[in-house]
Structure 1
């Protein structure tokens, strides 16, 4: 136990670190410990929270450095407008919530003053500004939009680009059926598409706080070895850039300090993403709900603002706002952003004929941040699963599936989010003409139509970013998403009749791929007897680091994708390689491809022989090197502030190469992608397991509490994370 020296605080708090560096913050009231949490966020993660605000506000090139990727993301976020309406949102906060956020902000500001400028701040000439309620809500909006920016928008863009690339219409319609049914593909080919964000800008966005993928499940007492409910949660994010995204903390307050909250928090916000109190535990997964659509606007020059759009046969003026993007050490850049009551143009229009432009509409564009932050704060005060489900249901952004367990043994799942009510027959996956009024959103989906499960008879609830659409219910998830991870989790939970904490932990480190099992059932019957067929037939479908069969299958699978979908009249060789192996990896495309491959007949091999295509893919393996999965699926840890700079290497910010177990389809989602300049990863960013019968949790994360490379708490949890070991968080410091 190490006492943390707190300088000149506004509230009476005591902070001690356990042997892992996790701060234990004690205070008389909830407001006191929120202040302490803000103070420790500033002390240990000041650079992270301050830089995140600058980027989310579209001021990275001004506040941090005039780098091309920061200028690019500034234009992106200014156009989306996360920084707008924040004052109005703050004013809408209920008084108790306003006081809680204010107390947290006071702690952040006192912590920043006490700790001074960090090395990255000094190196970039960054000077901190006051952290306020608007800053908290801005980071909250970043959580809501960040996952969308790199998933839903990218998926819709990928589909539009496939249409414009000239793939066979019937084959493409079959690939994503029924999402292109009734869609005018010729109109889509005439739409002006803005230039794709660079790999560097996309990497920067994926590195921001967000909720993009996760596993979470809970078990009722009758299936538990201890006779009490259990819960597990592991959010998945990019993990190879330190410091870790999440920040662990244990807060205690109240009479005799009997109230507590422990788990993973987000620097910059007073929220726990995976945590427990005395009465309740929760974890969340990103629902992959579609709250964002592209529309096609027919534009022409003219009117009072310079550009117009039409509704039916009538033309209307766009509204326009100007954003001045300051650049550190260089001249400013002014961009014009055209918008209407539907959304925002994806780029400044240019004269052409026809002039079809993309417009972006998002349900969180105007409001929702205040209620979203309210949800996170009220969750800590909830006393039961049912109460927590009712709180979660009202959260407007982001789209989440919450998993709960309580001390009385109840478990539940609750979906949340604000979903547009689209016209019947329109999925939202592809742009539709905005000049046709019936294509416009018709309000929002009622909250009572969101997923909700309470104490199911099977004795557990589980979610892992699968489709949660119900038969005859609203289309909440519009793009194809795989269910492989959830199927494996459910498979194991059904096999375990008396679940232990160790079982929960092992399941978080499960490397078995249901996807590989499905695909082998398709591929193997087409192969002649021989070494390849024998090896893959004996394989347990585990992507353990030492597995050579995992490498063999993954290459075989890639070759099949290239043979079937990568031909000249299909998706194309280069594009398919990009979508299935590189930075452009699209789980949407691969999910669709897996579905097609399991069919007997398809337009994708209408004039070819499926058996021969699979055999050809197998033959191409002859020249491949026999390697374990650890050699193929590996990466380096680097620093998120100095990662691309020579100074980072000199100061030891780059690690030796590390093996990543698992793949995109395993419960431990160990996914490594290559870009032109670096690796990008997607893996569990936090492991959290708890038994409601004890006031403790078992955790690990890929990093540590501190953002300082020179602190012993910079990456002290890495050995636990790599080896599947857990530390204990409890009320008594070990």
Structure 2
């Protein structure tokens, strides 16, 4: 079946399959049965991405200092994941799997282990002395939990910690409540100010965690047959992740068995396809940003059998104590004491002998049954149509996602999923919740059938792009303020396309028009003095093309307006607001909330000042800035995920030249560049996928290639295509 492609030599394996690469290096697996095809996928994941699999498992299990290197940042990351307990109860979760899912995971793991036997250690493994251990069903579930927590819930946790910092820093209560309205309306801010907080993760450790797959933003939409030129349903999806660290997160593959196939982006370490299609169905996902994580406030005192106690009403109870032994390569092991109770896990150790209020962390992914999320990913592949797939997807417990579907029959749909807690006591969840009042505890989960869902809407399309999704008949699902700029731009363009084509879908994935700039310039321009700045911005098309000079002017003006409006002493403060606006401390949550206030005429934040005067002062600061293209301020380098920051990586050429990044956080092509302590971080389309359900093909590109080896021609062979907006064809017809 694969005779027209470049065959991949295979040894005799326990399951039979053929493998080949097409002209773009994408692997095709041909097998008799689905289990044989899954075996082949596991084999090729372990052949092309062995380090990605094994290092990710080490980090998630809190054993990186033992197995990779005992650096301070890896040790800190181990403490973090051991405290969260990602690797706990995995055997129990495996026992909860349905037999047909367990069988599929087994076939996949057998393929991974077969390849490990054949290939030996990779260069990064050899350099660190890493000794591979077999892959098993627990490993698959652990990678899934890593994606759910390390890649997604951590961002919610960071935002909630930032809010606590703002409360502690003395920002005026009325101003905070207005900025985050209605999320803080009934919150006792004084109690939060009494909380003793532990140290945050260092920048270096946070960089390691943010290097994990995280859907910082994504776009997905589907178009019904009546709005497509072909008369068939169309689907487009582009998950947004960090893209400048090679190898690429996703592993593109086409699996053939019987008369069926699945093609798209798979995740090494798991037999799942995040964005893909079959003969009957296509799907993509975005991060819903549903709030699955809460900080509780525990009233603690020393004492009891375990050393510390917590209060419920007037009664004191012993914390449970879990001691984690963290082995360290070349160093003595250390013991980590983790205090927890049925509500959550204490965030660090209480100060020596000092009673008081401390934070406790609760995540819905720590509860029984979350490991079965892999079932949804596998069952979607065999779903016959959109309605069947929506029923499957809504039961996916972790992470919170919006799935978009289109099928051969012409139906389209959107289905959200995730285990979101019912919060007691009328609590919203963005701010810490007192745990001593049991009425505040979680009261189970919001029923999956009540989560947002759309099927064959009259407008003829569905679209999602990380906008706030809070139906009025439900508790607040998304508790952090989010902007809807990308969603609105996508919707506008789809409304303008009565007969959409695949080329239209591709162009929309590369759209760099900012609705944010359009909205805010409507506010700013009437207050700007006549002159070059006003004229140029008034005639700008809001494009964030790398050559645009007006994009730079707008963002300098925007930052200065933010500084003037929110940086005064009674507000967030000058230093903190500058940090929040820069690449180092950028907070989408705070700035999304600020954007909404800027469109109001009156606000506590203006502190008795005229908003127009604040904008004029910001314009004065902007006059005379260097006139430069967007590419001069929004750019990045590709580097290697395993060697990039090390001297050996620089010697071997693991860091690329500088590349311009199109777009920004508010454009459909989300080209968002951040700068942390020691490296750049990017959020941009990690995979472009468009398909017409009237065909058996898809059109794709990604910033990378199939191989993790810097010395392979398939390491970054799709990068040029990703920059140019050219798409390659994936097809099921390979004979």
Give the shorter-chain TM-score range: over 0.9
Answer yes or no: is the 8 Å Cα contact 1:237–1:683 preserved in 2. yes
Cα displacement string for residues 493-525 of structure 1 (whole angstroms, at most 9, x for unaligned residues): 001100000000000000001011111011111
SS in 2 for 1:442: strand
SS of the residue corresponding to residue 151 of structure 1 reads helix
Verify the 8 A CA contact 2:55 2:68 in the aligned structure 1: yes
Correspondence for 1:561? 562
How far 1:432 sits from its partner (Å)? 1.5
Given the alignment, which residue of 221, 230, 233 partners 2:234?
230
Spell out, residue by residue over 1:599-638, the C-alpha distance to the aligned partner (whole angstroms, 9 max, x if none): 1111111322222211111111234211000111001100
Write the distance in 2 (CA, Å) between the matches of 1:574 and 1:732.
59
CA offsets per residue over residues 300-333 of structure 1, 9 Å max, x none? 0000100000000000000010001111111111
List per-residue Cα deviations over 1:85-118 (Å, max 9, x = no partner): 1000111111111110000000001111111111
Question: 2:717 & 2:551 partners in 1: Cα distance?
Answer: 30
Which secondary structure does the structure 1 equivalent of 2:109 belong to? helix
Partners of 1:352 and 1:172 in 2: CA distance: 33
Equivalent in the alignment of 2:524: 523
The answer to which of 100-109 and 3-12 deviates more is: 3-12
State the shift of 1:202 in Å: 1.3
Hey, what's the Cα distance between the residues in 1 that align with 2:148 and 2:328?
27
TM-score, with structure 2 as normaliser: 0.98
Whether the aligned pair in 1 keeps the contact of 2:216 and 2:683 (CA below 8 Å) is no
Q: CA offsets, 1:453-478, max 9 Å, x none?
A: 00000000000111111113221111
Cα distance between partner residues in 1 of 2:498 and 2:288:
28
Number of the residue aligned with 1:428: 429
* SS of structure 2 residue aligned to 1:375: helix
**Aligned residue for 1:2?**
6
CA contact (8 A) 2:467 2:483 kept: yes
Q: Does 1:111 align with 2:108?
A: no
Query: Structure 2: how far apart are the matches of 1:88 and 1:196?
Result: 32
- Spell out, residue by residue over 1:680-699, the C-alpha distance to the aligned partner (whole angstroms, 9 max, x if none): 11101000000000000000
Other-structure match for 2:473: 472
Matched, 1:29 2:33: yes
**Structure 2 regions of 5+ residues with no counterpart?**
none
Matched residue, 1:687: 688
CA distance in 1, matches of 2:455, 2:184: 36
Matching residue of 1:242: 246
Whether the 8 Å CA contact 2:302–2:353 is kept in 1: the answer is no
1:121 equivalent in alignment to 2:122: no
Match of 1:65 among 40, 65, 69: 69
Distance in 2 (CA, whole Å) between partners of 1:183 and 1:100 is 47
> Does 212-221 or 242-251 show the bigger shift?
212-221
Q: Which stretch of structure 1 is more off in the superposition, 279-288 or 559-568? A: 559-568
1:46 maps to 50
**Structure 1 pair 407/572, CA: closer, same or farther in 2 (3 Å)?**
same
CA distance in 2 between counterparts of 1:368 and 1:406 reads 29
Cα-Cα RMSD: 1.1
TM-fit CA distance, 1:161: 0.4
Alpha-carbon separation, structure 2, partners of 1:618 and 1:327:
54
Structure 2 equivalent of residue 262 of structure 1: 263
Whole-angstrom CA distance in 2 between matches of 1:474 and 1:609:
36
Report the counterpart of residue 450 of structure 2 in structure 1. 449
Quote the Cα distance in structure 2 between the aligned partners of 1:253 and 1:353: 63
Matched, 1:347 2:348: yes
1:85 maps to what in 2?
89
- The answer to whether the 8 A contact 2:254-2:264 is kept is yes
Counterpart Cα distance in 1 of 2:62 and 2:598: 43
- Number of the residue aligned with 2:319: 318
Equivalent in the alignment of 2:146: 142
How far did 1:150 drift? 3.2
- The answer as to 2:551 corresponding to 1:550 is yes
Cross-structure match for 1:657: 658
> 1:645 is matched with which residue?
646
Asked if structure 2 preserves the Cα contact closer than 8 Å seen for 1:299 and 1:357, the reply is yes
1:732 corresponds to which residue? Answer: 733
Task: Kindly state the Cα deviation for residue 203 of structure 1 after the two structures are TM-superposed.
Answer: 1.4
Q: Distance in 2 between matches of 1:74 and 1:467?
A: 33
Q: 1:183 aligns with which of 183, 187, 191?
A: 187
Residue 354 (structure 1) shift = 5.3
The equivalent residue for 1:365 is 366
In the alignment, is the contact (CA less than 8 A) between 1:368 and 1:397 conserved in 2?
no
